[in-house]
Amino acid sequence: MCEQMNNSETALIEDKVFQMMKENGAFELKSCIDSFDFEDKRRFTKLELNTAQKMHVSALMQQVPSAVAAGTMAQAYIVSFPQGLPHTLTALNQGGYGSMIRENGKFVGSASFYSMLPQAAVLAAFTAMSVVTGQYFLAQINSEMKMMNLKLDKILEFLYGDKKAELMSEISFIKYAYQNYSSIMSHEQQRAATIISLQAAKKVAMKDIEFYLGDLDSTVNYEAKNYYGFDSLINKAFQIGESLQVSLQLYSLSSLLEVYYAQNHDTDYIKYLEIDMTSYIDKCDKRMLSSFSVLNRRLSEFKVKTAEKNGKLSYEMKIGELIESLNGGEESAMRKSLRSALHASTEKAEYYINNAGDVYIKAS
């Protein structure tokens, strides 16, 4: 009888602790009133959890029924984070609970004494959800990196000079860091080493961007003796432009991966990064626009023979399309995705978890 009372008392205290965690950690947990078809991909996206991550979410689900509605079971639960999941993780990681829990006018226990089980379950589950959410947002931004998504042999076709080897090395590493994000995040030493390498990759990308911008400026202003020389000059300018694009995407993805690996979602830090990255990309776009505008003017003034007119017209169309893309007045898809990925983790988030431990978000 005494043991039953102790077990009942422990369950009561753990439930109180869970409620305190919800208040202190700024998250909400409730059962789904409506029945949802989570297999409807138009409405929901399933987050891909590995075996360990799914075990953590399942452990959380064992805590949920008593915490939500006095033991009432539901087919699925909604957990929401009004200030973003990283905010909740930061709050929960700041320590235990030192207050006394009171029931019917009597102190029945200390929250700090009983908090380890529910706190460990919640932290492990939310950490797993944070990692797979990061993988999801990284996949979205990666889909915009058209040049980075080319196979390495295709990238080799337009890279040139002494920058070729170092860029290929960093591109290979970024692909590795992106593909293995979820696994590396669970190994602290490897994660720390990866962050250092990401910072180095960003420096290499910026150094190569500046090199290619300078080379592009020199190329478009080079004096060609005849049309065939000018033809070669135009092709080199476009080769440099492709090298610039892949370097810019390396810069963007390495910067974003560093944020997600470090899990640093401090508001001021994110704001600084957003301003710094978008202004740098804008500056590069404007310098590219200036260079290709010079090339376009020189091409229009270049005297060609009748047999060369079709080639000139083709180049004018190609350069015109590039200039239009750089001077369209609208924010590029890549910059929109960057901005979205930087802020996604700190915006209100809502997850749907079924009894099998599967996690879903609303499809975007």
Per-residue pLDDT of 169-189, as tens digits, reads: 899 999 999 999 999 998 999
Helix count (H) and strand count (E) of the chain?
13, 7
Q: At what angle do helices 2-25 and 85-93 cross, to 10 degrees?
A: 130
Give mean pLDDT, residues 272-289: 92
Contact 205, 266 (CB under 8 A): no
Q: Distance (Å, rounded) from C-alpha 181 to C-alpha 90?
A: 20
Tell me: pLDDT of 352 over 50.
Answer: yes
At residue 196, the pLDDT reads: 97
Phi and psi of 186, rounded to 5°?
-90, 5
At residue 262, the pLDDT reads: 92
Q: Distance (Å, rounded) from C-alpha 214 to C-alpha 219?
A: 9
Give the count of beta carbons closer than 10 Å to the beta carbon of residue 285.
17
Give mean pLDDT, residues 148-165: 75
Contact 261, 190 (CB under 8 A): no
| Of 150 and 47, more confident | 47
Q: What is the mean pLDDT of the chain?
A: 81
Give mean pLDDT, residues 314-320: 90
Which two tokens mark 335?
A: 């910059």
At residue 234, the pLDDT reads: 92
- The CA–CA distances, whole Å, from 32 to 37, 80, 120, 258 equal 12, 12, 24, 36
Tell me: pLDDT of 151 over 50.
Answer: yes
Tell me: pLDDT of 204 over 90.
Answer: yes
Tell me: pLDDT of 100 over 80.
Answer: no
